[in-house]
Amino acid sequence: MRVVSSNVNGIRAAANKGLFQWLGDDLPDVLCLQELKATEDQIDLLTIQSLGYHYYFHPAEKKGYSGVGILSRYRPDRVVVGMGNPVYDSEGRVLRADFGDFSIVCVYIPSGTTGDVRQDFKMKFLADFTHYIHELRKQRPHLLICGDYNICHKPIDINHPKRHTKMSGFLPEEREWFDQFIATGFVDSFREYDQSPEKYSWWSYRAGARAKNLGWRIDYHLITEEAKYRLKGAGILNELQFSDHCPVVVELDF
Confidence of residue 165 (pLDDT cuts 50, 70, 90): very high
Q: Where are the domains of the chain?
A: 2-252
pLDDT digits (tens, 9 = 90+) for 57-84: 999 999 999 999 999 999 999 999 999 9
- The residues, ordered by sequence, that sit 6+ positions from 192 with a Cβ below 8 Å of its Cβ are 231, 234
At 184 the three-state DSSP class reads coil
At 235 the three-state DSSP class reads strand
pLDDT digits (tens, 9 = 90+) for 169-206: 999 999 999 999 999 999 999 999 999 999 999 999 99
Q: Decide: 42 and 12 in contact? Cβ < 8 Å.
A: yes
pLDDT digits (tens, 9 = 90+) for 190-249: 999 999 999 999 999 998 999 999 999 999 999 999 999 999 999 999 999 999 999 999
**pLDDT, position 254:** 86
Q: Decide: 28 and 1 in contact? Cβ < 8 Å.
A: no
pLDDT digits (tens, 9 = 90+) for 77-112: 999 999 999 999 999 999 999 999 999 999 999 999
How far is residue 254's CA from residue 103's CA, in Å, rounded to a whole number? 12
**pLDDT, position 112:** 94
- Mean pLDDT for 43-65 is 98
Give the right CATH number for 2-252 from 3.40.50.150, 3.60.10.10, 3.40.50.970, 3.90.1010.10: 3.60.10.10
Confidence of residue 121 (pLDDT cuts 50, 70, 90): very high
Strand partners, 246: none
Confidence of residue 1 (pLDDT cuts 50, 70, 90): very high
Active site residue 148: yes
Q: In what order do the strands lie in the sheet with 78-81?
A: 78-81, 94-99, 102-108, 142-148, 219-224, 186-188
- Paired sense of beta strands 142-148 and 102-108, if any: parallel
**pLDDT, position 27:** 98
- Mean pLDDT for 143-153 is 98
Which of the following is catalytic: 120, 128, 148, 157? 148
Task: With a cut of 90, say whether residue 6 has pLDDT above it.
Answer: yes
